[in-house]
Chains A and B, each alone.
Chain A
Amino acid sequence: MKIKSGVLGIIIFLAIFGGIAFSSSLGYWQTESSKEPAVYDSGEFEGMPNPGDIRGSYSFSDVSEAFGIPIEDLTMAFVLPEDTDPGEFKNKDLELIYENLKEEGTEIGNGSVKLFVALYLGLPYEIEEGTFLPLEAVAILKEKAEPTEEQIEYIERNGIEVRSYNAEESPALEMDDDAKTSGEETDERTINGKTTFADLLDWGITSESIGKILGTDIPEAGLSIKDFCTQKGLEFLPIKEELQREADALDQG
């Protein structure tokens, strides 16, 4: 049987567009992620969402909804800039925040979110060598999750101090206006990696309160809380949270 070019052309059109129409009718023509990750199809975790299917296009609220992880934990773990709405923030935008980090050969991005979610929930996940997490994420996992010894060893080895890399010093992260908060809510009493003890004193927190939280006398005022914790081998996150509570109490008082 012979076939002419005109007929072949029609068949090509029919195969491609007919294929699209057919798969659409079956609900299979998906050109973007449904924001609902695929589930494990067998084993102990059958039916549970699979962190391996988290996409860069997922927002933190998508991840939070799909896996039931508090959005605050995600925000804190990945040290989002203060003027960012975590509900609209997309995983792939982590690469923008940590662009400088990428240039130095490490990367915090969607893979980091997958790893964090898997360990947070204790779900099976094959860790890819070279996946990094902010130290804040490491601290949350050690505090709230139950990683194995091997996993702890991995995340500690691959934990990165990211404060100096995020949007405060990196090239500005351009986001839609609606993805940002108004900024009016951002007060100056938010503790981050750069906050010094002098800042706390300026805000009105007494050195006695600070010393009580630290369990020691207040160190040199110009030292950042983060650096102090690093020097003393203390976990930054719980201390930060306690100090933040003190700072918040000033507003209420």
Chain B
Amino acid sequence: MKKTIKIRAYIQTFFFLLIAAISINHGLEESGQGIPFLSAASLHALCPFGGVVTLYQTITTGTFVQKIHESALAMLYSVIVLSVLFGPVFCGWVCPLGTLQEWIGKLGKRIFKKRYNRFMPIFINSKLRYLRYLVLAWVVYVTAKSGVLLFVNVDPYYALFNFWTGEVALSALAILALTMVGALFVERPWCKYTCPFGAFLGIFNLFRIFKIKRETSTCIDCGACGKACPMNIRVDKNKTVRDHQCISCRICTSEEVCPIPDTVEFKTGGGLSEN
């Protein structure tokens, strides 16, 4: 019987609770009741995407976009190192908004069984996935032009950990609600179609060092890896996964769903031409 890997779930839960606790502590600190030994940094200070949106301003003027600080850039550098090595593991293992969508998705799977994550017509689905690059371009452009973190007005991640503060724009709350409802039908809808940071990290899938690789000589073509992929990537049709949407969650590997040992694995090797 296949061993179920729970390590990722533990790590996701840890980061979700950590960010929630820090966000609550941030509010408590402002009222003079902060919890000692726990960071009270603002969410913007800890989000590596802040590093992406401030890059233009930081390079050209040496200053930071409103609400962004050095820590966001430090986080971005760590995430870039991880992404060069392993692809967007930040999305699959750390991002609390992705975690929340996965939790809601578990409910969706119970309700819709095999139909879950298969509602969207393939043609529309494949085109819609590039929308997040438009979002990324828009966010970087408007932030560079204005020097203001306008994305916060539509950011469901900020809304998730600040909805009780009264500082969240209604538009961000609405997008969070849409994301949560959408996650009942589609696995990680925000990540798939809209997340600008996911779009940025997705680029690393093209040249990351550790890749998802399928050994064709032992593969029995059961299609389990492709069916299990939360991002609807046809792992079973590739030797090496370079899809920009892979989140390196490793669900497709022999550790999780692949029934044949050493067949779908997370490893180095394989050039760009291999597929």
Q: Residue of A at shortest CB range from B78?
A: A19
> Does B154 have its Cβ within 8 Å of any Cβ on chain A?
no
Query: Which of these, A8, A9, A15, A30, contacts B78 with CB under 8 Å?
Result: A15
B267 touches A9 (CB 8 A): no
List the one stretch of A31-39, A76-84, A144-152, A236-244 in contact with chain B: A31-39
Query: Which of these, B41, B61, B267, contacts A52 with CB under 8 Å?
Result: B61
> Does B255 have its Cβ within 8 Å of any Cβ on chain A?
yes
A67 to chain B minimum Cβ distance, whole angstroms, is: 15
Task: Write out the residue numbers on chain A whose beta carbons fall within 8 Å of the beta carbon of B11.
Answer: 9, 12-13
A5 touches B250 (CB 8 A): yes
B69 touches A2 (CB 8 A): no
A 168-186 to B, binary, CB cutoff 8 A, 1 in contact else 0 = 0000000000000000000
User: Which parts of A23-72 form the interface with B (CB within 8 Å)?
Assistant: 23, 28-33, 37-39, 41, 50, 52-53, 55-56
Task: Write out the residue numbers on chain B whose beta carbons fall within 8 Å of the beta carbon of A30.
Answer: 69-71
Given the known inter-chain contacts A3-B210, A20-B74, please indicate yes or no for A32 contacting B69, CB distance below 8 A.
yes
Task: Write out the residue numbers on chain B whose beta carbons fall within 8 Å of the beta carbon of A196.
Answer: none
Task: Write out the residue numbers on chain B whose beta carbons fall within 8 Å of the beta carbon of A1.
Answer: 210, 267-269
A28 touches B5 (CB 8 A): no
A53 touches B86 (CB 8 A): no
User: Which parts of A125-147 form the interface with B (CB within 8 Å)?
Assistant: 128
Task: Write out the residue numbers on chain B whose beta carbons fall within 8 Å of the beta carbon of A4.
Answer: 255
> Does B131 have its Cβ within 8 Å of any Cβ on chain A?
no
B63 touches A50 (CB 8 A): yes
A38 touches B63 (CB 8 A): yes
A-B contact count (CB 8 A): 105
B81 touches A15 (CB 8 A): yes
B94 touches A16 (CB 8 A): yes
Given the known inter-chain contacts A1-B268, A3-B210, A5-B255, please indicate yes or no for A28 contacting B74, CB distance below 8 A.
yes
A12 touches B66 (CB 8 A): no
A31 touches B250 (CB 8 A): no
> Does A166 have its Cβ within 8 Å of any Cβ on chain B?
no
Q: Residue of A at shortest CB range from B266?
A: A3
Given the known inter-chain contacts A15-B82, A41-B62, please indicate yes or no for A5 contacting B7, CB distance below 8 A.
yes
B94 touches A12 (CB 8 A): yes
B70 touches A23 (CB 8 A): yes
Size of interface on A: residues with Cβ below 8 Å to B: 35
User: Which parts of B45-88 form the interface with A (CB within 8 Å)?
Assistant: 45-46, 61-64, 66-67, 69-71, 74-75, 77-79, 81-82, 85-86
State in angstroms the CA–CA spacing of A30 and B70 once bound together.
Answer: 5
> Does B93 have its Cβ within 8 Å of any Cβ on chain A?
yes
Query: Which of these, B10, B62, B64, B70, contacts A29 with CB under 8 Å?
Result: B70
> Does A75 have its Cβ within 8 Å of any Cβ on chain B?
no
Task: Write out the residue numbers on chain B whose beta carbons fall within 8 Å of the beta carbon of A112.
Answer: none
User: Which parts of A91-134 form the interface with B (CB within 8 Å)?
Assistant: 110-111, 128
B 104-143 to A, binary, CB cutoff 8 A, 1 in contact else 0 = 0000000000000000000000000000000000000000
Most buried by A among B78, B82, B148, B269: B78
State in angstroms the CA–CA spacing of A218 and B163 once bound together.
Answer: 55
State in angstroms the CA–CA spacing of A4 and B267 once bound together.
Answer: 9
Can you name 26 A-B residue pairings with CB atoms under 8 Å? A3-B86, A3-B266, A3-B267, A8-B86, A9-B10, A11-B82, A11-B86, A12-B89, A12-B93, A15-B78, A15-B79, A19-B77, A20-B75, A23-B70, A30-B70, A31-B69, A32-B41, A32-B45, A32-B69, A38-B61, A41-B62, A50-B62, A52-B63, A55-B67, A128-B146, A128-B147
Known contacts A15-B79, A20-B78, A52-B61; 9 further A-B pairs (Cβ under 8 A): A8-B266, A13-B11, A16-B82, A19-B74, A19-B81, A29-B71, A37-B63, A41-B62, A128-B147
Interface residues of A (CB under 8 A from B): 1-6, 8-9, 11-13, 15-16, 18-20, 23, 28-33, 37-39, 41, 50, 52-53, 55-56, 110-111, 128
Interface residues of B (CB under 8 A from A): 5, 7-8, 10-11, 39, 41-42, 45-46, 61-64, 66-67, 69-71, 74-75, 77-79, 81-82, 85-86, 89, 93-94, 146-148, 210, 250, 255, 265-269
4 cross-chain pairs, A with B, having the tightest CB-CB distances, nearest first: A19-B78, A31-B41, A31-B45, A23-B74
